[in-house]
Structure 1
């Protein structure tokens, strides 16, 4: 594959494209712009909600972002939501009730596209006083469709808690994790970064065999499998989670070493 070139570039943000200080290096921006100038779209595929995309929009300016682990497609230039796959109230009620029954100290929050709501007991780590963030009781949180349900536990180890959530949720929704904490991210059944990227690729007339995707955490596994099975390149960062490294076709440097830019430059 020495002469292989992508027709679409997709990258996770945190731990992948972004450095530890939440910025993108000038070298990475320049490399992405070089590919864009050659007609290759750059797509962000992230667990982040649209409301967390303002800063990256100032850097990359245009293109599509796959947000909330595939549930939301966002146009960066117009900042308009193009498509959504939502979790509906009846499923939310079932999941939250069952998780509380198995682990009573589970706390919940939800993403509504540009807004975030959390239970009074839930302890958000970011955006505590940001616009669009509010506190509500659980019945109100799950009364309307949501892009993503967050389940957090402050005492159970991450892998143990995520495994519990996967068992409880079963086939009623999709569970993943992109944090070092016991935080499970729950989307509508079948919704992953792969399904979001597939929609964007189809809009550009690109097959998975012509896609390169970069990532570092388990919520990137579905996208890696989609690309790898189609004959494309699934590139894990050097510091990636072991489960993602196992799904990769290639490994590049860390986010601190501009691993994305270095791999793209090597093509």
Structure 2
């Protein structure tokens, strides 16, 4: 594959494209601009909701974003939602009730895309006082479709808690995680970064064999498998989670070492 070149570039943000201080280096921006000049589309595939995309938009104001782990597709230039796959109130009510019954100290929050609601006991780690962030009861949060349900436990081990959530949810929804905390991210059934990325690739007439995707956490696994199994390149960061390294086709440097830009230059 020495002469292989992608027809679409996709990258996770946190721990991948962004340095740990949440900046994007000038070298990375320049490399992405080089591919943009060659008419190669760029997609950000992230667990972040659209409301967290304003900062990156100031640095990379073009392309498309797969937000909320695939639930929301966002046009970055126009800051316009292109498509949504939402969790239904029925699924929300069932999943939250069963999780609360099995693990009473599980606390919930929901992403609506541009707004965030959390239970009074749920402790957000970011955006505590940001616009659109409000406290609500669980009953209030499960009345309308949401882009993502978040379940958090303050005492259980991360992997133990995610396993519990996965067992309770079953095939009713998709469970993943991208945090060092015991935080499970729950999307509609079949919704992953892979499903969102496939939709955007189809819009550009591109298949997985012509995609390179970068990532570092388990919520990137579905996208890696879609690209790898289709003949493309799935590139893990050097510090990536072992489960992601296991499904990667390639490994590059860390985010702070501009691993994304280095790998793209090698192509």
User: Which bracket does the TM-score occupy, shorter chain normalised?
Assistant: over 0.9
Superposed, which structure 2 residues align to 1:1-267 within 5 Å?
1-267=1-267
Q: In the TM superposition, what whole-angstrom CA distance separates every residue of 1:43-92 from its partner, at most 9, and x where no partner exists?
A: 00000000000000001111100000000000101111000000000000
Separation in structure 2 between the aligned mates of residue 21 and residue 127 of structure 1, nearest angstrom: 16
Q: Secondary structure at the match of 1:61?
A: coil
Q: Secondary structure at the match of 1:225?
A: helix
Q: Secondary structure at the match of 1:257?
A: coil
Q: Secondary structure at the match of 1:255?
A: coil
Separation in structure 1 between the aligned mates of residue 179 and residue 25 of structure 2, nearest angstrom: 22
Q: Secondary structure at the match of 1:94?
A: helix
1:140 Cα deviation from its structure 2 partner: 0.4
Q: In the TM superposition, what whole-angstrom CA distance separates every residue of 1:101-126 from its partner, at most 9, and x where no partner exists?
A: 11000000000010000000000000
RMSD value, Cα: 0.3
Separation in structure 1 between the aligned mates of residue 74 and residue 185 of structure 2, nearest angstrom: 19
Separation in structure 1 between the aligned mates of residue 18 and residue 155 of structure 2, nearest angstrom: 29
Provide the TM-score with structure 1 as the length reference.
Answer: 1.00
Q: Secondary structure at the match of 1:190?
A: coil
Separation in structure 1 between the aligned mates of residue 88 and residue 169 of structure 2, nearest angstrom: 14
Provide the TM-score with structure 2 as the length reference.
Answer: 1.00
Separation in structure 2 between the aligned mates of residue 78 and residue 41 of structure 1, nearest angstrom: 16
1:182 Cα deviation from its structure 2 partner: 0.2
1:219 Cα deviation from its structure 2 partner: 0.1
Unmatched runs of 5 consecutive residues or more in structure 1? none
1:248 Cα deviation from its structure 2 partner: 0.1
1:5 Cα deviation from its structure 2 partner: 0.2
